[in-house]
Amino acid sequence: MAPETSLIANLVLCLVFAFVGGFVTSKLKLPPLVGYLLAGVAVGPFTPGFVADEKLAGQLAEIGVILLMFGVGLHFSIRDLMAVRGIAVPGALGRITAVTALVTGAAHLWGWSLGAGLVFGLALSVASTVVLLRALEERNTLDSVNGRIAVGWLIVEDLAMVLALVLLPALAGVLSNDSRDPAGHVGGEGLFLTLTVTLAKVALFLALVLIVGRRVIPWVLEHVARIGSRELFTLSVLATALGIAFASAELFGVSFALGAFFAGVILSESDFSHQAAADSLPLQDAFAVLFFVSIGMLFDPSILMREPLAVLAVVLVIVLGKSVVTFGIVLAFGYPVATALTVSASLAQIGEFSFILAGLGVVLGLLPAEGRDLILAGALLSITLNPLVFAALDRLGVWLRQHPQLTARLERQGCEVLSALPDVDEGGLADHAVVVGYGRVGSVIGAGLKAEGLPIVVIDQDRRRVEDLRARGVLAIYGDASTPGVLEEACIARARLLLIATPEGYQTRRIIELARQINPKIDTAVRTHSESEVAYLERQGIGVAIMGERELAFGLMEYALRSLGVSQYRTEVTVQKFRTAGDGGAFERHDDLEPRRSAPELRQHRDAEQVIER
């Protein structure tokens, strides 16, 4: 192949193979990242057929690392981290320490050096940003408490890995020596001097970037934005990311990754961060794909046959060991089992930083090629298994909810007490509302009921939320309302209304079934996200089911009609007409569409005629 066409050929074929691999794995309900890595294996030197140029692929991958780390810095949020710092900081650092110590010990038994064990352990201790965010988005839990804890945990891990990338080159001379050969170690003074010089360079770099860069770069971008050229603005963003990364390596001896990360951090605080992220995303995605392909090229699939037990051990550490450690840490900090299971499943894989650390470890002579192959095998298998880990832990969560005593022992801290109403005259508690779920929806409803002085009992699976409600004088019970016994504790037999503010369809059906066994006449209001579920609940004769997305659409429709000059009367008639249409409509359909009140989809309570003026 002619030198002038080798770059184009490698670029085209790598992208084509990556597209095919990503498409196939997506169809198989696997993360596309698995397909990109397999594409790299396909064009690598260890498989027949076309072999890409490793040097060219490596240089393209370096750009991918820069843009990948730039994106991490661009989305870095101090506010998000501070919101969950109580669990994210000690939890992430504790898990990194535990996993690294465990893996370093195992590597020592394999005859590896201390440096190899540390790099290997660090690579297995950190999770993939791409995989975690994608998994949380697919489960609609990214903005939940559990999702924020997992993301905050990952931010701390990323920062720890950035520090490791800075220190590893400085410590390479010490760590590469066999720990059983004391004579080979560098003296304490030499190590101290090396670390001091390295940290001084990093401190000078950070001072220039964070002090000067925070003023200069936003000022430059502002003037570029005023020109009105999108191409020029995109170019300025890429020049900033690549320029700072290159300068950090050439002038301060800092890695490309660290320079790009702080370039993103600087831009994240400017008014142009969203536009910068949007403009750089296509190139970031493309070169990140090339990074994963180049990593796959380094993987020797024969290690699956040569070292099957070692590969199995690595996968067990990533999937099982990390999950158990994470589960224990989250419970130790007083969070409920549901949170511990979600965070454990989210972080039971490895990814981008693992590859970067493995590559750096091999370049520095710390990690043998076998270690890199084991890391790549562990990444491929753990990412592939991650959906199964979520499914398995979901089943475990259901099983634990069916055994509240075991759950209470795991969570400790008085869960048995929270599972029953506090000191209250249960005989005097009647005609109250039982609110299941006190999140964004339930809390608004509960606040409205409390504002009118109406009695409510809240059932929630977040122990801390229950503790907070009780501290504010609200009757609250910790538990799963779909588990027998929990509704009884909320005095459902004497309740007037059951209000289910959680969207899980199976749980909703079970809760209604249990409630009607105890109180057949109880009125019911339900939140759901499915039109088919609305139709099913209507057939069951419940009071009302509200589909959140439909009500959002009706609210926007009402505003649009009024904004375009339609009268208030006609607007209400039109909205009501659409509300009562189709399987997802309101339960009571009237021939005349005369709106009787501002929220006609909520039917009058069966005793509304006897409402007492308060």
560-577: pLDDT as tens digits: 998 998 998 899 889 888
The confidence score (pLDDT) of residue 425 equals 57
Residue 588 has pLDDT above 70, yes or no: no
Amino acid at 196: T
Residue 504's pLDDT band (cuts 50, 70, 90): low
User: Which among 179-183, 227-231, 371-375, 414-418 has the top mean pLDDT?
Assistant: 371-375
Residue 593's pLDDT band (cuts 50, 70, 90): very low
Contact 383, 31 (CB under 8 A): yes
Contact 544, 601 (CB under 8 A): yes
The confidence score (pLDDT) of residue 611 equals 40
Within a 13 Å sphere around the CA of 243, how many CA atoms are in the beta-carbon half?
9
The confidence score (pLDDT) of residue 24 equals 92
Residue 190's pLDDT band (cuts 50, 70, 90): low
The confidence score (pLDDT) of residue 319 equals 92
Distance CA 346, CA 153 (A): 10
The mean of the pLDDT values for the chain is 78
Radius of gyration of the chain (CA): 29
The confidence score (pLDDT) of residue 162 equals 77
Contacts of 5 (CB under 8 A, 6+ apart): none
Between residues 496 and 143, which one has the greater pLDDT?
496
pLDDT (mean) for 317-335: 88
Residue 233 has pLDDT above 50, yes or no: yes
Residue 470 has pLDDT above 60, yes or no: yes
- What order of strands is seen across the sheet that includes strand 475-478? 475-478, 456-460, 433-436, 497-500, 523-528, 544-547
3-state secondary structure at position 458:
strand
Over pLDDT 90: what percentage of the chain? 10
Residue 598's pLDDT band (cuts 50, 70, 90): very low
User: Which among 167-171, 563-567, 594-598 has the top mean pLDDT?
Assistant: 563-567
Residue 168 has pLDDT above 80, yes or no: yes
Q: Residue 384 carries which DSSP code?
A: H
User: Which among 69-78, 149-158, 412-421, 534-543 has the top mean pLDDT?
Assistant: 149-158
Residue 429's pLDDT band (cuts 50, 70, 90): confident
Amino acid at 572: E
Distance CA 168, CA 37 (A): 26
pTM: 0.65
Residue 487's pLDDT band (cuts 50, 70, 90): confident
* Span of 3-17, 218-232, 375-389 with lowest mean pLDDT: 3-17
Distance CA 609, CA 598 (A): 18
Q: 188-207 vs 256-268: helix axis angle to the nearest 10?
A: 30
Residue-level length of the chain = 614
Residue 417's pLDDT band (cuts 50, 70, 90): low
3-state secondary structure at position 140:
coil
Residue 522 has pLDDT above 50, yes or no: yes
> Sign (positive/negative) of CA torsion 407, 410, 416, 419?
negative
Distance CA 121, CA 116 (A): 8
Q: 352-363 vs 273-297: helix axis angle to the nearest 10?
A: 60
The confidence score (pLDDT) of residue 613 equals 41
Residue 457 has pLDDT above 90, yes or no: yes
